Structure 1
Amino acid sequence: MNTELSNIKNTFPKEEKLCSTKAIDKLFSSGQSFIAYPLRVVYTVENEPEVNHQLAAILTSVSKKKFKRAVKRNRVKRLIREAYRLNKHELSALLKEKGKRMDIAFLYLKNELPEYTEIEKAILKTVSVLISKLREGVPE
């Protein structure tokens, strides 16, 4: 087994959850967005990571209009967080290398419950788009 991959910790600590109202307002007012169907991704990039903060913080949102039952909304959010948790390492490494931090919001767009593979495909596309934008230098 590849030792580099086995050293990666696939965790999702509290610091990676975007909870700050100020940060969320800033994300939606001045963030950039793109669609990796069935997700709409809104993100902001900041130059200096704050001390004791993770390099990327995420927020997941599922509309009450699309899923009336909280059980279904929570299921979709769980799938999104799990797919992100397992595929974030490349993005985190690049953010660390560049000395930047990122806030990301995942908004679910579809009306039906997704399969995990569909969500993972969207997350992989999201990570690759964010990596390419970081490499070419996103305007802050």
Structure 2
Amino acid sequence: MNFRLPKSERLHAEKLIKELFNEGSSFFLYPFKVLFLRKIDLSGQANQVLFSVSKKKIKRANGRNFIKRRLKEAYRLNKHILPADGIILGVIFVGKADMSFAEIEPKMKQALNRLNQELPQNSLSS
């Protein structure tokens, strides 16, 4: 199993981010809102993921960065749950600033399992 999270697996292309927010499906599972979109032209490639923490919820940048580090770690350890099939994924954190990694990781597992269930009926987009 590959537990790395290289730059190629992080979503940073503005075009893809806009597409994810405009055309992607989503679900809410506290403390995350998960947006996802499966792309045909990216199939066979690694999934790309974006992490976001609301400035409204967590005012200080160091607090937002701390939560993002925890989210990335929880995703990195559990990304094997998803098929590597060109899925574009956005994880928006809407929980409390004082959530520990022990609280975040099981929720990330739940979110990835639910995403795995929702993907088959999600149609492919080009």
Q: TM-score, normalising length from structure 1?
A: 0.82
Equivalent residue for 2:81? 90
Task: Establish whether residue 57 from structure 1 lines up as the match of residue 41 from structure 2.
Answer: no
Helix, strand or coil at the partner of 1:34: strand
Deviation string, structure 1 residues 80-123 (Cα, Å, up to 9, x no partner): 000000000131xx33xxxx311111111123321112211121
Determine the C-alpha separation between the residues in 2 that align with 1:47 and 1:133: 17
Equivalent residue for 2:2? 9
Determine the C-alpha separation between the residues in 1 that align with 2:59 and 2:115: 31
Aligned length: 124
Q: CA deviation at 1:25?
A: 0.2
The amino acid across from 1:131 in the alignment is N
Note if contact 2:24-2:36 (Cα within 8 Å) is conserved in structure 1: yes
1:78 aligns with one of 69, 72, 76:
69
Q: TM-score, normalising length from structure 2?
A: 0.90
Equivalent residue for 1:112? 97
Unaligned 5+ runs, structure 1: 1-7
The amino acid across from 2:93 in the alignment is Y
Note if contact 2:36-2:88 (Cα within 8 Å) is conserved in structure 1: yes
Task: Establish whether residue 138 from structure 1 lines up as the match of residue 122 from structure 2.
Answer: yes
Q: RMSD of aligned C-alpha atoms?
A: 1.6
Q: CA deviation at 1:50?
A: 6.2
Unaligned 5+ runs, structure 2: none
Larger Rg: 1
Task: Establish whether residue 31 from structure 1 lines up as the match of residue 16 from structure 2.
Answer: no
Determine the C-alpha separation between the residues in 1 that align with 2:50 and 2:10: 6
The amino acid across from 2:8 in the alignment is E
